[in-house]
Amino acid sequence: MRHRLATGLAALAGVFACADAAQAVQMLSGQTASGAYYQIKAPDGWKAGDTLVLFQHGLSFDPPKPNPSLGPLADLQLSEGYAVAASSYSQRAWALFNAPDDNAQLLAVFKQKIGAPGAIIPWGGSLGGLISLKLAEDARFAPVPGVLSLCPPAAGSRTWDFGIDARLAYDVVCKDVNSAGQLPKGAAPMTWAYNLGDIPDNLSDLQDKAELARTLLPVNVCTGVSLPPLLQNDAMLRRLDQLKNFAHITSDDFFLTDLGYATFGLSDLVRAPDKLGGINPFTTTGVIYADAAIDAGIARITADPFAQLYLRWASDFRGRVDAATKVISLHTSRDELVIPAHQSVLRATLPAMQLTSALVNESSPSHCGFNTAEGIAAWEALRAWIAGGRQPTIANLQSDCQSAVAAGVKGPCRIDANLTPPSFDSQVAPRPASTAPGVDASYSGLWYDPARSGEGIELEILPNARALLYFFTYPPIGAAGKQAWLMGIGDIVGNGIEFADVLRGARDAQGKVTSQHWGRIALTFDSCGSGGMRWDGPAGWGSMEVPLYRLSALQGLGCLPPGYGTRVIPPQQASGAWYDPATTGNGFLVEQTDASQLQVLYFQLNTDGTQNWMTAAATLGDDGAYHAPMYQPGGTHFGAAFDKTQIVKPADYVLNMRLGCASGDATISARGDGSSVQTFALRRLTTPAGIATCTP
């Protein structure tokens, strides 16, 4: 297999530079709804069901431009029969907040104009390498049989710990230099971040030394990094060496580039309204730095938990890819921008059977400084692996590279099996571990803010680090109806949950039930019993943060008291979401709190598009059914207009419910005379994590 692969490499090298001339290629370009530009090329003969390569470019401060690059391997990939497409992204710099959506819009264009691909292979370098990994986790791009990720910042959000450390260390080392050596301050409280208007345009990838020297004049005053030797003094060089040693940097050019990211890139991240919008995700409090002077003098800041969660959700590769997905990743060994330690994070995230990770042995520092033969070797090895070949070793990659060089492709080959990446914590000071435990199955239940009694969330933790949320509340002032509910499926990230696509039920002009994107909701937890919620909704709903406290828990899944070892969980529970397939726009959320009690929430989308919900605490009767009056709160409004003193809770209906393992029935009838009976033939929709799987 390796010999045939090497032979194929040699043959392919000859067509690398002239693929378009050898065959006709369909070309498309344009702009998607997000504002991102796209470019698509598909060779003649490509048909629906064939494979699409999605190229991901690296970080850039330039505004989106037409005809984004399809990458350095596009001609080769086209000659092999792949279609190739790329997005410019709609965000500048750390574009991870929107890049998956930009790619999804690009994919929709491709399906409409070319055809639906049978599989997608994302690939890219630097930031594009991380985005490629993130696309493999996103169900919208499945199936993803393989990913080629070159020099990715695989540590995700922790990449920026390097940036905040470098930025605040500069203030310590240069504090005694005159005002011309001080970096500009931004608006409080994040004075270490430039205001958006102070970030120059068209900084590209921040590797232009001359441009950075012009825009970072204070750095020259403090360190003399770009000055001729005759103008550098001992104090400047001493400060320069201290900052470079602190950041494990040997190159003056990389020192400037890294400080450019620590100023312009970091400031854009925290200030831009389409990213973190002015809240701080960084912590230096409790961090121990190896440089004693910097450790003693550095500013100690603490992250806003919601900003930290949002940055982690957008940025971290969590390895949640299909078991069949194969990843090849190369890193240059002396990269001082995206450090090789990121490979140790990647190796800890993916199973060894799904990842071949290697370092290229450099004689001088570069960022993603691969040559053509190394790139082709990695690509061809991935193709062979996807096609059913054996997983390539690092030695295989080097051998394939040498075969490409022998065929005339530019080398040399430096893929070195003897190189091992350092740990990330050895290069970037680790943040103190959170005292809050990670979210697990015990967090399922009802949560509320006591100051806002009459409103709350039903949280159901699902398998595979997912969660279901229903927010039961009221319409904003001026909106129709007396009640409102929102729902979302979210990702668990440490001690938080990000619901990035919260939906609100609606009806279209024909009365059909639809779901409309409403906004996002984030939950963070201090413990198993308390935390907080932040929502960012559309116009008229707004943004707000409120505390959360546990109101209920599933039987056997509450918070464990100190010293309690083993949970006792019933073999089967009614807990979960239930629905009647014959009805649309309504359903039941059930919590079994003990053997004879159910907490039930019923939600309904009315024919006029308004929403209703009711609550019940049902008790098991002698007839084997659960019975309870149903309360329908009302009288107040959403957000800052909420007033719990205005809430009334009429109990005008009665619930009768029987639930088996996977099916059941329920009736809701008017209280008193039993009129207006609504009957439901129920099926189970979800089973919370931590309870026994239903076995009918």
**Cα–Cα distance between 593 and 598 in angstroms, integer?**
6
The answer for residues whose C-beta is within 8 angstroms of residue 509's C-beta and 6 or more apart is none
pLDDT at 43: 97
Distance separating alpha carbons of residues 301 and 280, to the nearest angstrom: 9
The SS3 assignment for 648 reads strand
Residue 74 near residue 25 (C-beta atoms within 8 A):
no
What pLDDT does residue 561 have? 61
- What is the per-residue pLDDT for 585? 87
Q: Per-residue DSSP letters for 654-695?
A: EEEEEE-SSEEEEEEEETTT--S-EEEEEEE----TTSPPP-
355-360 β-sheet, strand order: 25-31, 37-43, 83-87, 51-56, 119-125, 146-150, 326-332, 355-360, 415-416
How much of the chain, in percent, has pLDDT values that exceed 90?
Answer: 85
Q: Which pLDDT does position 154 carry in this prediction?
A: 98
Of the chain, the percentage scoring pLDDT greater than 70 comes to 94
Quickly state the pLDDT bin for 674 (edges 50, 70, 90): low
Residue 512: its pLDDT value, please?
A: 87
How many angstroms separate the CA atoms of 670 and 42, rounded? 62
Burial class (CB in 10 A: 0-12, 13-18, 19+), 430: middle
- pLDDT at residue 525, rounded to an integer: 96
Q: Of 172-176, 193-197, 331-335, 554-558, which range is least confident?
A: 554-558
DSSP state of 93: S
User: 624-662, pLDDT tens digit by residue?
Assistant: 999 999 999 999 999 999 999 999 999 999 999 999 989
Amino acid identity of residue 297, one-letter, is G
Q: Quote the CA–CA distance of 683 and 660 in Å, as a whole number.
A: 9
Decide if 499 contacts 487 (C-beta within 8 A). no
For residues 436-461, give the mean pLDDT: 95
pLDDT of 5 over the 50 cut: no
Confidence at residue 584, expressed as pLDDT on a 0 to 100 scale: 84
What is the pLDDT confidence band of residue 18, given thresholds at 50, 70 and 90?
Answer: very low
- Which is nearest to 659 in space by CA: 675, 636, 680? 680
* pLDDT tens digits for range 547-605: 999 999 999 888 866 555 566 666 578 999 999 999 888 999 999 998 899 999 999 99
Residue 16's pLDDT is 39
φ, ψ for residue 417 (rounded to 5)? -70, -15
- pLDDT tens digits, 34-64: 999 999 999 999 999 999 999 999 999 988 9
- pLDDT, tens digit, 9 for 90 and up, residues 415-440: 999 999 999 999 999 999 877 889 99
The more confident residue out of 238 and 203 is 238
Taking the C-alpha atoms of residue 563 and residue 136, their distance in angstroms, rounded to an integer, is: 40
Mean pLDDT of 241-261: 95
CATH number of 2-155+316-422: 3.40.50.1820
Tally of CB atoms within 10 A around 610: 17
> Which pLDDT score is estimated for 14?
41
Cα–Cα dist 489/500, whole Å: 8
Q: How far apart are CA 417 and CA 236, in angstroms?
A: 40
What is the domain partition of the chain in residue ranges? 2-155+316-422, 157-313, 441-684
Between CA 688 and CA 590 the distance in angstroms is: 10
pLDDT surpassing 80 at residue 19: no
Q: Residue 213: what pLDDT?
A: 73
The tokens for 335 are 């990269």
Query: Average pLDDT, stretch 224-239?
Result: 94
Contact 260, 269 (CB under 8 A): no
Rounded distance between C-alpha atoms, residue 694 and residue 661, angstroms: 6
**Mean residue pLDDT across the chain:** 92
- Cite the DSSP H helix spans in 14-69: 19-22
| Alpha-carbon span 127 to 59, nearest angstrom | 6
Q: Give the whole-angstrom CA distance, residue 654 versus residue 282.
A: 50
Q: Is residue 211's pLDDT more than 90?
A: no
Query: What is the structure's pLDDT at 1?
Result: 36
Q: What angle do the packed helices 252-260 and 159-173 form, to 10 degrees?
A: 100
Reported confidence tier of residue 215, pLDDT bands at 50, 70, 90:
confident
Q: Is the pLDDT of residue 469 over 60?
A: yes
Q: Per-residue confidence at 202, pLDDT binned at 50, 70, 90?
A: confident
Burial group, residue 252, by CB count within 10 angstroms (0-12, 13-18, 19+): middle
Residue 22 clears pLDDT 70, i.e. is over it: no
Residues 267, 61: Cα–Cα separation, whole Å: 12
Q: Which residues 6+ apart lie within 8 Å of 359 measured at CB?
A: 330, 331, 332, 333, 340, 343, 415, 416, 419, 420, 421
Residues 239-259: what's their mean pLDDT? 95
Report the C-alpha gap between 86 and 286 in whole angstroms.
42
Is the predicted pLDDT of residue 231 greater than 80, yes or no? yes
Q: Are 331 and 362 in contact (CB under 8 A)?
A: no
Angle between helix 372-386 and 394-406 (nearest 10): 120
Instruction: Check residue 235 and give its pLDDT.
Output: 96
23 — pLDDT class (breaks 50, 70, 90): low
Give the model confidence (pLDDT) of 353-377 as tens digits.
999 999 999 999 999 999 999 999 9
Calpha distance 541→544 (Å, rounded): 9
HSE-CB for 185 with a 13 A CA cutoff = 7
Report which of 371, 368, 374 is spatially closest to residue 130, judged by C-alpha positions.
Answer: 368
Q: Which residue has the higher pLDDT, 257 or 675?
A: 257
> What is the model's pLDDT at position 437?
87
Quick one: tokens of 258?
């890294």
- At residue 24, does pLDDT exceed 70? yes
Is the pLDDT score of 519 beyond 80?
yes
Centroid of chain to Cα 472 = 26
Q: What is the pLDDT of residue 569?
A: 63
